[in-house]
Amino acid sequence: KAGVTQTPRYLIKTRGQQVTLSCSPISGHRSVSWYQQTPGQGLQFLFEYFSETQRNKGNFPGRFSGRQFSNSRSEMNVSTLELGDSALYLCASNPGGNRVNTEAFFGQGTRLTVV
Amino acid sequence: QKEVEQDPGPLSVPEGAIVSLNCTYSNSAFQYFMWYRQYSRKGPELLMYTYSSGNKEDGRFTAQVDKSSKYISLFIRDSQPSDSATYLCAMANQAGTALIFGKGTTLSVSS
């Protein structure tokens, strides 16, 4: 079974630009969560999507947004990039439904550098 | 106070040692407790998952949860160089759609 695929693996963007990251979950998984990982703050929850609906959202500004498609693939977008947005962005795939997202399978992440 | 506290280490031990990794938390609503392992340049990998209090064993790994003390532990027996990684604790409440992570403890096992 293929794992969680995140693209691209690395990105370099300039302040003020916007960026879109993509995540393909494990086949059959309907829940996709996004996390930001930085050395200072660790792993922080951004949002979670299930069946194309956002079920939960973390404490991030509105510049961070996401969506999920009917095939469960998900994208997250960050607009008006700031230097502090430099981080590893991780996508987690979970069967979803009524099951608690405790069996999250993570992708390798997208390393975003804002210059 | 952060919801989940975890000593970042680094923790260095010789091969074969017993390793103890710990997290404390403040939110009594947490019901699900996980341990992830993250190798450099990789995503976190789920090691163990426990619901509520108690112990769980899987091979060389044992997870313990003490909800009365708001304290969780991961023990690694007979540690191997391949165990060298960052270990992250994570927790979730009954709704469970968001995982709250500790900052991770970096472990190095020398041969």
Q: Compute how many other C-beta atoms are within 10 angstroms of the C-beta atom of residue A115.
A: 10
Q: Which two tokens stand for residue B47?
A: 């090691």
Q: Compute how many other C-beta atoms are within 10 angstroms of the C-beta atom of residue A39.
A: 10
Residue B87 to residue B110: CA distance in whole angstroms? 17
Model pLDDT for residues A11-63, shown as the tens digit of each residue: 999 999 999 999 999 999 999 999 999 999 999 999 999 999 998 999 999 99
Residue A110 to residue A5: CA distance in whole angstroms? 10
A34: nearest CA in chain B? B98
Higher confidence at residue A103 or residue A56?
Answer: A56
Q: Flag the least confident range among A1-5, A43-47, B95-99.
A: B95-99
Chain B contact present for A71, CB below 8 A: no
Residue B85 to residue B39: CA distance in whole angstroms? 5
- Residue B34 is predicted with a pLDDT of 94
Chain B contact present for A18, CB below 8 A: no
